[in-house]
Amino acid sequence: MNQSLTHLPEEASESPCAKVVLIGVSTGGLKALCAILPALPADFPWPVLIVQHQHPDADDYLAQLLNEQCQIKIKQSDEKERIRPGTGYLAPANYHLLLEEDLTLSLSLDPPVNFSRPAVDVLFESAVDAMGQNCIGIILTGANKDGAKGLAEINHAGGTTVVQNPAQAVATAMPLAAMALITPDHILNLQEIGSWLVEHAKTHKEEI
């Protein structure tokens, strides 16, 4: 059964998830996420999927903390959960997070990628398979190169790419690695990313 037919681009405008926001972040992540996610209003029209590198034993403290500070709901991803607008889904520690074509989430214990599990590349590449040009990929501060390849795939699929201004990042390696592979559509300071997303969502709505 071809479930992907339910969200072909033509139909995307009516679909509850016309686009998906994907965030990859490592060192300095908590501060970075706190600068972005609280800016999103409760009725933000798209789901936000987040890979933050964490210690394998970490619990869902990060999700709880962010949830308290945000208007959108933030939670740790559950297996087979359907993604919804106005909700942020964090990858659980020690599992890869992937997006399926039927817009449900799946988790895997496959070996680490770029020494990371969860890995940003794994999420981004699966999201490209599921949503193609409707992916908005954002790479933030981090001290490795995870996410660069995934962001490049979003770019090749015609999606939108954003990289945190490396001059301002706590750790520059992740933004720089991404910029070595592609020229992102936007290079933004942390404080600008939330409002850019809100603006982008508004413009998108007006175009419909």
Partner 1 sequence: MDREATTIEIDLLLEAIFRKYGYDFRDYARASLKRRLRHRMSQEKIQSYSEMQHNLLYNTAFFDRLLESLSVSVTEMFRDPNVYRILRESVIPILNKRPLLKVWHAGCCTGEEVYSMAILLHEADLLNRTQIYATDFNQKSLNSAKKSCFHKSKIRNFSENYQHSGGTNSLLDYVTMQGDYAYIADSLKTQILFTDHNLATDWAFGEMDLIFCRNVLIYFNKTLQSRVVKLFQESLAPAGFICLGHKETLEFLDSEDKFKEIESNSRIYKVKQYQVNQ
Binding map of partner 1 across residues 27-66, x = CB under 8 A, - = no contact: ----------------------------------------
Q: 7, 26, 96, 126: which is the annotated catalytic residue? A: 26
User: Which residue reads 């933000």 in tokens?
Assistant: 44
Asked whether the beta carbons of 123 and 98 are under 8 A apart, the reply is yes
DSSP string covering 134-148: GEEEEE---SS-TTH
55 classed as catalytic: no
In our burial notation (b when 16+ CB lie closer than 10 A, e otherwise), range 71-89 reads ebebebbeeebebebbbbb
Is 120 among the residues that bind partner 1 (CB under 8 A)? no
Binding map of partner 1 across residues 153-192, x = CB under 8 A, - = no contact: ----x-----------------------------------
**Which of 137/175 has CB closer to partner 1?**
137
Is 19 among the residues that bind partner 1 (CB under 8 A)? no
Q: 7, 53, 121, 126: which is the annotated catalytic residue? A: 53
In angstroms, rounded to a whole number, what is the distance separating the alpha carbons of residues 112 and 104? 22
Neighbours of 113 (CB within 10 A): 17
Give the chain's radius of gyration (CA, Å): 15
- Catalog residues that contact partner 1 under the rule CB under 8 A: 2, 4-5, 78-81, 92, 95-96, 98-101, 106-111, 122, 125-126, 129-130, 132, 157
Question: Which are the catalytic amino acids?
Answer: 26, 53, 146
